[in-house]
Every structure is written in structure tokens, then in C-alpha cells.
Structure 1
Amino acid sequence: MSTHFIGEGNIGSAPEYREFPSGNDEPSRLLRLNVYFDNPIPKKDGTFEDRGGFWAPVELWHKDTERWQALYQKGMRVLVVGRMEREPWTDNEDQPRETWQINARSVGILPFRIESVTLSPRHQETAQDTQPKPQATQEPTAPKEPKRRK
């Protein structure tokens, strides 16, 4: 069972990166984040009270997760979009348990407590890229006559 999920929360620990070999193909890559999704309710004095927040493991499967593991940090505020899935399991005393995890489609970094952002060179625009490109000029052509039926 799964359901669509969108939530804001804070990363609670360092990201965990894993790679799973897949024969001669490129390996599957997983980045696992432990995120606390809070529910801040405003109080009359202007502060917030957290009601009903929860911890959930967030799994992000993508070919670039190896590079992203250094990007995501403990305490960072993120927006997670994906599917929430129920994972049943059995504990050491053979009692049935369940965990809800999020299979993320995307994990966006929210700009709280971020001091700077540096883009890689291939993503930065140069001054030449921002200038308008001249349009090609064409000579006007005579309008075509419509085809006549016989």
C-alpha cells in the first residue's frame, strides 16, 4: 500500500549512501535520509508548537545520489515529494511491526540557514548566453495561390 506524499521537514542525521551492483549494468544508487516532518501550530504569543510531527526514512534512488550525499546535511530543511509506503517487518520477539517510509521522487533544499549556493560551471550562464540572439531575416515571399478543384 502506498499513497502520494508531500512534506517539509529537517534532516536528522548524516545521509547514508549505498550502491547495489547489477551485473554488467550501472549499479543502482540509493541515498537514505532520516527526516523529521513537523507540524508547527502558531501560538498566541507568536511562537510555534509542534503537534503531530513524525520521523520517516526517505529513500531517493537516482544515478547522481553519490554526488548528492555531500549536498544534503544534518539539520537542513527539505521538501520531499514521493510515495509513502508501509513496510511490515517482524522484531526479535516475533512481533509484527510496521514502518512507514517515503520513496522520494524529489528532495528539494529549502533556503533556511543556507549561507551560499555555488553552481557547477556547466549550469552557470555566461554574459554571452544572456544577450538576445539576432533573428535571421528572410525575404518576403509571394503568397501561394490556393489550389482549385476541377
Structure 2
Amino acid sequence: MSTHFYGEGNIGSTPEFREFPNGNDEPRRVLRLNVYFDNPVPTKDGYEDRGGFWAPVEIWHKDAEHWSTLYKPRMRVQVFGREERDEWKDDKDNLRTTYKINARSIGILPYRIEAVTLSAKPDSADAQHPAAG
């Protein structure tokens, strides 16, 4: 079972990068984040969180290892993807259910960011579009 998901939240811990063998092909790479998706409600004193939840977020991509250095705890992110239910048995053979987000994209929101550095593109695309540089 899965359903579309969109949410904003804060990364709660250091991202975990994993790599899995894929025969003779390039290994499969995943970045796992633990994100708290809050529900801020305006109050007279600012905002109050009502009904937020923690969810594991996974993004499978060839650049997952590089991205693991970009995402930091407490960083505000916007997640697009789908919610998936995983059923598994614990060490006492009890059936457990976990919900996770299989992300299509994870955007970094500008809260608490002090600087952004863009890498240079090695191709000639920037020469054709001067405004992109």
C-alpha cells in the first residue's frame, strides 16, 4: 500500500547513507533521514505544534552519498514522495507495521542556512544560458 505524500519538517539526526551491491551494475544507493513533520498552528504567542509525527524518509539515488554531506540535523526540508507501509516480524515473532516515506525529492528550505555554494558545471550549458551562471 502506498499513497502520495507532501510534508515539511526538520531532520532529527545525522543522515545514514547505505550502498547495496547490484550484480555487475552500479550499486544501489539510499539516503535515510529521520524527519519530524510538524503541524504548526498560529497562537497569540507565535506557533504551537499540534499533531506532528516522526517518519523515516528514504531517497534512492546515485548521488545519495554526496547528498549525505548536505543534509544536517535540525535542517528544515520539504519532502515529496509516497507513504509506504512495511510489515515485518520482530525478534519475538510479533507482526509489526512501520510507515516510511519513499521520497522522490527532498528540498532544503532556507531556515537557519547561513550560506549556499553552487558547484561549477563542467559542460557548456552555462555558456548558452548566461543567466544560469
Provide the TM-score with structure 2 as the length reference.
0.90
What are the equivalent positions in structure 2 for 1:33-112 lying under 5 Å apart? 33-43=33-43, 45-112=44-111
Matched, 1:25 2:39: no
CA RMSD of aligned residues (A): 1.9
For residues 52-102 of structure 1, the C-alpha deviation after alignment (integer angstroms, 9 at most, x for no partner) is 100000000000111110000000000000000011122333332211100
Query: How far apart are the structure 1 equivalents of 2:21 and 2:12?
Result: 28
> What residue is the counterpart of 2:8 in the other structure?
8
For residues 7-48 of structure 1, the C-alpha deviation after alignment (integer angstroms, 9 at most, x for no partner) is 0000000000000011110000000000000001111x2321
Query: How far apart are the structure 2 equivalents of 1:25 and 1:125?
Result: 31
Corresponding residue SS for 1:121: coil
Query: How far apart are the structure 1 equivalents of 2:104 and 2:59?
Result: 7
Structure 2's unaligned 5+ residue stretches are: none
For residues 105-138 of structure 1, the C-alpha deviation after alignment (integer angstroms, 9 at most, x for no partner) is 0000000000000000118957x9528xxxxxxx
Corresponding residue SS for 2:93: coil
Identity score, percent: 65
Q: Which has the higher strand share?
A: 2
What are the equivalent positions in structure 2 for 1:125-140 lying under 5 Å apart? 129-130=129-130
Query: How far apart are the structure 2 equivalents of 1:23 and 1:93?
Result: 33
Corresponding residue SS for 1:67: helix
Q: Identify the structure with bigger relative contact order (alpha carbons < 8 Å, sequence gap 6+).
A: 2
Aligned residue identity for 1:54: F
> What residue is the counterpart of 1:145 in the other structure?
none
What are the equivalent positions in structure 2 for 1:113-128 lying under 5 Å apart? 113-122=112-121
Matched positions, count: 129
